[in-house]
Amino acid sequence: MDNSAIYVRERGNLRRVSDIVLAQPKPVSSCRRTNPFVLRKEHFIFTYNAEGSLRYTTKSLFDTTLLFVADNIHHVDSLVGFPEQIGDRLFAAAEENRVFLNADVSPKALQLFGDAYGEMVLGSLCLRNRFPLLHERMDEIKTFHSLKSLDLFGCRLGDDHEIFQHLTSSSLSSNLIQLFIGGNGLSDVGLQRLTSPIRMLRKGLDRLQLLDVSHNPISVRALRYLACLPKLQHLDASGTSLKLGSALKTTIWDLLGLIYSEIPLDNFDHSRCKTEGWAEQLAGRSLSEKS
């Protein structure tokens, strides 16, 4: 029997489905087909009737077109102007087709969706204590420019991680409101580098309202670097080298205009750490988990 065709049994007779030859499945490592116009198994819906005979129907032209575009998303120049509903279904189709597993295509595809749909693609990203995932998906993470909340607690950033450049880029910093970088071995030098763009060029992290620098070896000197953040309203500096006392409270008020809270703020509760958006599953799993 010809393995490249599909046969159905109707009324006891075996026949070929409309003489349509179906393409072979594409390998995971590539999203390009030899002939993209050859219909594939995904273009059909197969069911059985009460008598046990196999029935088939073709998918709608819209669904077939959606599949084609998703499969060739790397050739699309822009999605700006397309309705959100279309973008959502197109993203889901691309993810189902494992397009984002292709390292050569994934960053460009995510950038394409991000430019058109912003925070709907990913508005909040939680990578708390998941430093292998941060390293593994760095190229994809750099394409998320509409994040309002980013949790990198315990990701072993140190003082000179490459993510710093992304955090202070004009595209991301114009949206980022919450940043969690506690437990990263971050010293005064690291905070100096992180805030240098806004201190020197008046850009970068200028919308930041909440900052977690807890459990890092920082001193009072680091607070002076944070004084350049114009909209900072909440700061977690617990577990650092700062010695709590009246002098520190006065310094924090004078430099940052913040008042010491006697009780922990709910804003820094780990349960609030969420990844939200179309790319939620993509951003939350490593390549090894998806393969």
Same domain, residue pair 67 and 105: yes
Same domain, residue pair 186 and 270: yes
Q: What pLDDT, on a 0 to 100 scale, did the predictor assign at position 184?
A: 96
Show pLDDT as tens, one digit a residue, over the chain (291 residues): 445 555 655 566 666 655 444 444 444 444 444 444 444 555 555 566 666 666 666 667 888 888 889 889 988 999 999 999 999 999 998 988 888 888 888 889 999 999 999 999 999 999 999 999 898 888 888 888 899 999 999 999 999 999 998 898 888 888 999 999 999 999 999 999 999 989 888 888 989 999 999 999 999 999 999 999 999 999 999 999 999 999 999 999 999 999 999 888 888 887 778 899 999 888 766 544 544
Q: Name the one residue in this structure whose structure tokens are 């005064």.
A: 188
Residues pairing with 44 in the sheet: 58
Domain final residue, candidates 69, 84, 117: 117
Q: What pLDDT, on a 0 to 100 scale, did the predictor assign at position 40?
A: 54
Q: Name the one residue in this structure whose structure tokens are 């393409």.
A: 23
State how many domains the chain has. 2
- Relative to beta strand 44-48, strand 54-58 is antiparallel
Domain final residue, candidates 81, 97, 117: 117
- Name 169's Cβ contacts closer than 8 Å, sequence gap at least 6: 145, 204
CATH value at residue 141? 3.80.10
Same domain, residue pair 158 and 264: yes
Same domain, residue pair 161 and 271: yes
Residue 66's domain comprises: 7-117
- H or E element in which residue 5 lies: none
- Smallest CA-to-CA distance from 186 within 211, 206, 209 is with 211
98-104-105-106 Cα dihedral, nearest 10 degrees: 70
Residue 1 lies in a domain: no
Distance between CA atoms of residues 157 and 10, nearest Å: 63
Q: What pLDDT, on a 0 to 100 scale, did the predictor assign at position 139?
A: 86
Residue 212 main-chain phi, psi, to 5 deg: -110, 110
Same domain, residue pair 279 and 142: yes
Same domain, residue pair 251 and 133: yes
Distance between CA atoms of residues 7 and 162, nearest Å: 55
- Name 165's Cβ contacts closer than 8 Å, sequence gap at least 6: none
Same domain, residue pair 100 and 141: no
Q: Name the one residue in this structure whose structure tokens are 């240098």.
A: 196
pTM beyond cutoff 0.85? no
Q: What pLDDT, on a 0 to 100 scale, did the predictor assign at position 185?
A: 95
Q: Are 170 and 204 in contact (CB under 8 A)?
A: yes
Same domain, residue pair 140 and 248: yes
- Relative to beta strand 149-151, strand 234-236 is unpaired
Same domain, residue pair 111 and 126: no
Neighbours of 111 (CB within 10 A): 17
Q: Which tokens in the block code for residue 106?
A: 């994934």
Distance between CA atoms of residues 137 and 281, nearest Å: 13
Q: What radius of gyration, in Å, describes the C-alpha atoms of the chain? A: 25
